[in-house]
Amino acid sequence: MKVHSAVRKKGGGTRGGRGFSRGELKEAGVDPKHALKLGISIDLRRKTKHGENVKTLKKHLRSLAKKRKRKRRPRTVRKS
């Protein structure tokens, strides 16, 4: 699943952006190479950090972490 950042328009609305800035990725705790592996787009031209985009990114990372958790089988106890 691709995740894109939100960009503010002049009229006060938002539209889909090209990707997250390096600063937003750093603030969310993701390095750029790992972000690309996860399907998170990066816009190398942007220099700004928007709190809304950081929240979106952290929310997406939490949802990925929930999906990745696997149920472990209970260990069997060997009788000797």
pLDDT at position 25, please?
93
pLDDT digits (tens, 9 = 90+) for 12-66: 787 777 889 999 999 999 999 999 898 898 999 989 898 988 998 999 888 888 7
Find, among 9, 2, 8, the residue nearest to 53 by Cα. 8
Please state, in angstroms and as integers, the Cα–Cα distance from residue 12 to each residue in 17, 23, 48, following that order.
Answer: 15, 23, 17
pLDDT recorded at residue 74? 75
Among 1-5, 7-11, 34-38, where is mean pLDDT lowest? 1-5
pLDDT of residue 77: 78
CB-CB contact of 30 with 20 (8 Å): no
